[in-house]
Structure 1
Amino acid sequence: MTTRATYHRWLPLVATGACLVAVACGAPESADPTEPLAQPVPPATQVDAEGDLAPPEQARDAFTYDPAAAPVGAELSVEADGSDGSTEVRLEVEGLVPNRGYAAHAHAQPCGPTGDAAGPHFQHRVDPAAGPGRPSTDPAYANPENEIWLDLRTDAEGDGEAGAVVPFAFTDRAPASVVIHAGEATATAPGEAGSAGGRVACLNVPFDRAANGG
């Protein structure tokens, strides 16, 4: 919201007995008209999202679709920060299965009752050969430079973290969630690039708030 300096005008003085009294007693002093107007505050470029996994019928923003791989109550959190035409994303998990690898990616749609609700991986340059029922498996598009991959491995407590910096910023298009997959790593070979097994959990993330026009 743009904030502008406000100029005040003194009200006329009125005589009372032998003295003059200002009608607007206690009014603030006039702003200095030589001071420049306050500049608009730039839009925020950082977003944070977190949630405790719950079954779809109970979940608000953090869903588990496979409690054996993504236990109820496990915590997911995502931070995203866009600047200078790039975006940094960090995923942290607590309480997943200990000593296990998980593949994770930003997805195009919000979480929903099933893992499929989150749609395909978000791609900066969309694979023209992909479509409903045809996930992108071409390494020219399904790669960690064009998508946001957040593969991680948990420790003995089931905690872990991953980060990615991608060479693009969000403008009119942005992902809406991060999905945890059953696979321990994301495939990279032609014909299977981007594949990572079933969807075991999902967190809604308002990535559109990280848009910076870069």
Structure 2
Amino acid sequence: MVAGICAGALVAAVLAAGADNGGTGGYSMRTDARFAPPGAFVPSAAVTYDMELVPAASWIEVRQHMAPVGGATTVGLRVTGMKPGHAYGVHVHTHPCGADPAAAGGHYQHVISSHADHVNPENEVWLDFTADEHGAGAARARHGWGFRQGEAASVVLHDEPGGKGTRVGCFTVPFGWVA
């Protein structure tokens, strides 16, 4: 295991990162994992804190594409195995996942501020979705800015959409950044 990421997920992300930048300096990444509870015999980069809303073995995929000029970033999310019909809040967070849901830190913000006006989908990456009747969901966010180096490290699922909610799952993600 490397920095809390299962080797298979890390290798898939690293291979995808260099696969389609065409030498232009852009960045593309795709990584996925199955959720497991903290302390599971087989650890995962995806941790569930609420087995009703994020069942063990449910699946998550995160993709990132960053433009080679200007750093515009698109982040996509797909999930399966979630609670059908449930609305989730999902945000990029500043630290990797841990056994304690608080380990992922706060929301990544383009303009860092504790003021409530900065907690919004324009200043943060929000990937809220409602699981369909089969427990699948998807979301995508695009911003004209990119992440700062080392400041975006995970995607956290919350029990309700919007800027708040209890943390019910977390996925450590190797996000790229603007140089």
The corresponding residue for 2:109 is 123
Letter in 2 for 1:74: S
User: 2 CA distance for matches of 1:67 and 1:206?
Assistant: 25
How far the C-alpha of 1:43 sits from its partner, in A, is 4.4
Question: In 2, are the aligned partners of 1:122 and 1:147 still within 8 Å (CA)?
Answer: yes
Letter in 2 for 1:94: T
Quick one: structure 1 residues 60 and 93, their matched pair in 2 at CA, closer, same or farther if it must change by over 3 Å? same
- SS at structure 2 position matched to 1:53: strand
Quick one: structure 1 residues 174 and 47, their matched pair in 2 at CA, closer, same or farther if it must change by over 3 Å? farther
Letter in 2 for 1:115: P
Q: 1 or 2, which has the higher helix percentage?
A: 2
Query: Which aligned segments of 4 or more residues in structure 1 are displaced greater than 6 angstroms?
Result: none
The corresponding residue for 1:107 is 93
Question: In 2, are the aligned partners of 1:144 and 1:166 still within 8 Å (CA)?
Answer: no
How far the C-alpha of 1:167 sits from its partner, in A, is 2.0
Letter in 2 for 1:180: L
- SS at structure 1 position matched to 2:103: helix
The structure 2 residue matched to 1:72, chosen from 41, 51, 56, is 56
TM-score, normalised by the number of residues in structure 1: 0.68
- SS at structure 1 position matched to 2:65: strand
Identity of aligned residues (%): 36
RMSD (Å) for aligned C-alpha atoms = 1.7
The corresponding residue for 1:46 is 28
Q: Deviations over 1:10-63 (max 9, x none)?
A: xxxxxxxxxxxxxxxxxxxxxxxxxxxxxx944450111211000110232010
The structure 1 residue matched to 2:173, chosen from 190, 195, 205, is 205
The structure 1 residue matched to 2:116, chosen from 123, 138, 156, is 138
Larger radius of gyration: 1
Question: In 2, are the aligned partners of 1:48 and 1:79 still within 8 Å (CA)?
Answer: yes
Q: Deviations over 1:42-101 (max 9, x none)?
A: 445011121100011023201000101110110011001111331100010000001111
Count of equivalent residues: 154
How far the C-alpha of 1:174 sits from its partner, in A, is 3.4
The corresponding residue for 1:55 is 37
Letter in 1 for 2:90: A
Letter in 1 for 2:116: D
- Pair 1:147 & 2:124 matched: yes
- SS at structure 1 position matched to 2:102: helix
Letter in 1 for 2:136: D
Q: Deviations over 1:125-180 (max 9, x none)?
A: 111xx3xxxxxx612x1111110000001111000100000121124343100000
Q: Which runs of 5+ in 1 are unaligned?
A: 1-39, 131-136, 187-193
Question: In 2, are the aligned partners of 1:107 and 1:179 still within 8 Å (CA)?
Answer: yes
Question: In 2, are the aligned partners of 1:45 and 1:212 still within 8 Å (CA)?
Answer: no
Letter in 1 for 2:39: E
